[in-house]
């Protein structure tokens, strides 16, 4: 059983869970613990994400995973005054049990102070059939506790909802998250390390694959070989698909990068999940994409060949994230080309370069772009969220569910398929006209209806690419990638 302390005053008796792994995973001295956490936060790069709904952070000893955890927790600084409840989900390592377990304690203690447990939320979670109190599961368990000092340092004041994962499904965890999802006052933290005990190069390759699977919201493909907290991650990704969250890998390293040896390493990843409709790249990353798009077209015109994609992974986590984009070319307000990726399958920077080239040279509605046109060209970049299916029973039902100026839309029926970006609402502001024109684009009658008609919505971050200063710099992609052949207009 974990060490529990009973504290009494004139009106109340509280059970406080004493630190189980202080002095082992992190310092048991208040000053040293605070100094170590603050150093990890200060060393973390500012990624440009400021209001995540969910973060994923590792749970090893601070000397190993603290710097990576610091990157995740730094994203909370702007919302520190807003967050008042933290749902903390992590895997059990020592005591096997069925389902999801919480603690009977009223508060948890660390060297940095005491955090109250949100008993009201705990009572609500009893609606999950496999949710129960299991104090023995928390004995010497570190996967949740190591996060508390980071939370105590970053947040002003908060209550805790601890959920320890035993033999439980991602669906059960997702059901629990549904119950206590809340609004901006609620943060969800998923505790997990990545691969375990490979030599360093094998680990890096494995963790890179896992990183891409997470960014593409493919939680169902994860196993315990990829991440010890894979069930919690899968549940978070289930919510991301349902609620339109955008996932960014902030920092992926391993113990050899921090304090370990390269022969047998553990991988660590920090991820942030934010509402896609509110997500925005920082100004520097937007400038990088704009420059890359213009240079790609400039090079293709000059050489007659597709531009080369970057040989190295971008240093910016946002530009390295797996994303789907559309690039729209206009001259004097008139369309000159538009092609993009419907599904994410490569890094954001690569996708913009490839789609800029294809918009200028592979859009069959237009002749290849010329150097004279390049000087007058405007480029718009759209970063798509993941497609989410819409359930509807009729045309009227589908039209009623569309959100003008917010939703992009994909429809398909058999081999007929078409897409409109959210920006198309500017020229087609009425939902019925929007859908009718999209059907016509797919080669279907405007009034077409069949039981096999499918529709998917998405949101997009959209920005106009500023034209870079003239240069002679040179920024091969394979043509015919099915994910790159969609037109938005």
Q: What is the percentage of the chain residues whose pLDDT exceeds 90?
A: 89
Q: Tell me, yes or no, whether 313 lies in a domain.
A: yes
Per the prediction, the chain carries an average pLDDT of 94
Q: Are residues 229 and 325 in the same domain?
A: no
Give the pLDDT score at 13.
Answer: 63
Are 408 and 453 within one domain? yes
Q: Would the pTM of this model clear 0.85, i.e. be above it?
A: yes
Side-chain half-sphere CA neighbours of 53 within 13 A? 23
Identify whether residues 292 and 251 lie together within a single domain: no
Whether residues 302 and 375 share a domain: the answer is: yes
Q: What is the arithmetic mean of pLDDT over 250-258?
A: 98
| Count of CB atoms situated within 10 Å of the CB of 124 | 15
Last-in-domain residue among 222, 243, 278: 278
Supply 257's token pair.
């990068």
- Is residue 9 included in any domain, yes or no? yes
Same-domain status, 269 and 417: no
pLDDT of residue 10: 47
Task: Measure the CA dihedral 229/233/238/242, to 10°.
Answer: 150
- CA nearest 246: which of 319, 323, 304, 301? 323
Confidence of residue 486 (pLDDT cuts 50, 70, 90): low
Share of the chain above pLDDT 70, in %: 93
Where residue 316 falls among pLDDT bands split at 50, 70, 90?
very high
Helix (H) or strand (E) holding 435: helix 431-441
Kindly state whether residue 466 falls inside one of the protein's structural domains: yes
User: What CATH number is associated with residue 23?
Assistant: 3.40.830.10
The CATH number given to whatever domain includes residue 444 is 3.30.1490.150
Q: Distance between CA 445 and CA 459 in Å, rounded? A: 26
Residue 419 lies in a domain: yes
pLDDT at 468: 83
Give me the pLDDT at residue 474, please. Answer: 42
Laid out side by side, the sheet with 388-389 consists of: 388-389, 454-458, 408-413, 416-420
Q: Are 210 and 226 in contact (CB under 8 A)?
A: yes
Read off the pLDDT of residues 99-112 as tens digits, 9 standing for 90 and up: 999 999 999 999 99
- Is residue 489 included in any domain, yes or no? no
333, part of any domain: yes
Mean pLDDT score, 40-69:
96
Mark whether 308 and 216 lie in a shared domain. no
Same structural domain, 266 and 132: yes
- Average the pLDDT over each of 13-17, 126-130, 220-224, 360-364 and give the range with the smallest value: 13-17
**CATH code where residue 366 lies:** 3.30.700.20
Average confidence (pLDDT) over 350-379: 96
Give me the mean pLDDT over the 413-439 stretch.
97
Residues 314 and 233 in one domain: no
Mean pLDDT for the stretch of residues 215-238: 97
Residue 436 falls inside a structural domain: yes
Same-domain status, 300 and 447 = no
| Residue 133 is assigned to a structural domain of this protein | yes
- How far is the first Cα of the chain from the last one, in angstroms, to the nearest whole number? 62
Q: What are phi and psi of 124, to 5 degrees?
A: -60, -35
Q: What are the two backbone dihedrals, phi and then psi, of residue 115, each rounded to the nearest 5 degrees?
A: -115, 125
User: What is the average per-residue pLDDT within 135-160?
Assistant: 97
Domain boundary among 278, 297, 323: 278
The strand ranges marked E within 32-185 are 54-57, 85-91, 100-102, 107-110, 113-116, 131-133, 159-165
Say whether both 88 and 73 belong to one domain. Answer: yes
Per-residue pLDDT, 330: 97
**Are residues 453 and 479 part of one domain?**
no
Q: Residue 20's pLDDT is what?
A: 96
What is the extent of the structural domain holding 328?
Answer: 283-385+461-484
Backbone angles phi, psi at 406, to 5 degrees: -120, -50
Which residues lie below 8 Å from residue 340, measured CB to CB, with a gap of 6+?
A: 324, 325, 326, 327, 355, 359, 382, 384, 484, 486, 488
Q: Given this model, what pLDDT does residue 149 score? A: 99
Chosen domain end from 225, 250, 278: 278
Residue 478: the pLDDT is 42
8 pLDDT above the threshold of 80: no
Residues 340, 323, single domain; the answer is: yes
180 has pLDDT over 50? yes
Domains contained in the chain, number: 3
Q: Which of 6, 15, 19, 179 is nearest to 100 (CA)?
A: 179
| Pairwise CA distance, residues 408 & 406, whole Å | 7
* pLDDT tops 80 at residue 481: no
Centre a 10 Å sphere on the Cβ of residue 400 and count the other Cβ atoms it contains.
10
User: pLDDT tens across 16-37, in order?
Assistant: 999 999 999 999 999 999 999 9
């Amino acid at each position: 059983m974990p060490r529990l302390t009973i504290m009494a005053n004139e009106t109340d008796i509280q059970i406080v869970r004493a630190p189980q792994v202080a002095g082992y995973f992190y310092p048991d001295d208040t000053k040293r613990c605070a100094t170590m956490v603050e150093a990890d936060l200060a060393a973390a790069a500012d990624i440009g994400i400021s209001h995540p709904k969910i973060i994923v952070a590792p749970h090893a000893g601070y000397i190993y995973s603290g710097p990576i955890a610091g990157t995740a927790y730094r994203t909370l600084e702007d919302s520190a005054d807003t967050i008042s409840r933290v749902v903390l989900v992590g895997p059990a390592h020592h005591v096997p049990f069925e389902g999801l377990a919480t603690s009977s304690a009223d508060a948890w203690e660390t060297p940095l102070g005491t955090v109250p447990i949100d008993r009201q939320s705990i009572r609500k979670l009893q609606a999950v059939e496999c949710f129960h109190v299991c104090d023995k599961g928390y004995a010497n368990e570190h996967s949740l506790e190591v996060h508390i000092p980071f939370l105590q340092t970053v947040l002003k004041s908060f209550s805790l909802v601890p959920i320890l994962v035993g033999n439980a499904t991602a669906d059960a965890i997702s059901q629990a998250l549904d119950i206590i999802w809340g609004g901006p006052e609620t943060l969800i933290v998923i505790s997990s390390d990545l691969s375990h005990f490979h030599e360093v190069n094998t680990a890096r390759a494995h963790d890179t694959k896992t990183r891409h699977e997470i960014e593409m919201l493919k939680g169902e493909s994860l196993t315990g070989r990829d991440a010890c907290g894979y069930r919690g991650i899968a549940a978070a990704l289930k919510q991301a698909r349902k609620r339109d969250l955008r996932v960014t890998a902030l920092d992926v390293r391993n113990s050899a990068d921090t304090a370990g040896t390269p022969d047998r390493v553990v991988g660590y990843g920090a991820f942030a999940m934010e509402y896609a409709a509110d997500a925005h790249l920082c100004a520097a990353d937007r400038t990088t994409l704009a420059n890359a798009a213009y240079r790609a077209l400039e090079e293709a015109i000059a050489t007659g060949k597709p531009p080369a994609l970057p040989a190295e992974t971008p240093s910016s986590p946002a530009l390295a994230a797996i994303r789907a984009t559309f690039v729209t070319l206009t001259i004097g307000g008139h369309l000159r080309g538009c092609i993009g990726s419907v599904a994410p399958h490569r890094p954001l920077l690569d996708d913009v370069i490839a789609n800029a080239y294809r918009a200028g040279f592979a859009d069959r509605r237009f002749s290849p772009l010329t150097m004279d046109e390049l000087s007058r060209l405007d480029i718009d970049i759209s970063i798509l969220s993941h497609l989410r299916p819409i359930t509807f029973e009729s045309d009227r039902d589908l039209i009623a569910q569309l959100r003008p100026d917010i939703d992009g839309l994909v429809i398909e029926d058999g081999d007929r398929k078409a897409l409109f970006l959210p920006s198309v609402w500017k020229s087609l502001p009425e939902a019925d006209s929007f859908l009718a024109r999209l059907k016509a684009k797919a080669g279907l009658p405007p009034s077409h209806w069949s039981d096999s008609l499918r529709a998917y919505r998405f949101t997009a971050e959209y920005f106009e690419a500023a034209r870079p200063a003239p240069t002679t710099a040179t920024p091969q992609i394979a043509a015919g990638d099915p994910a790159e052949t969609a037109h938005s207009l």
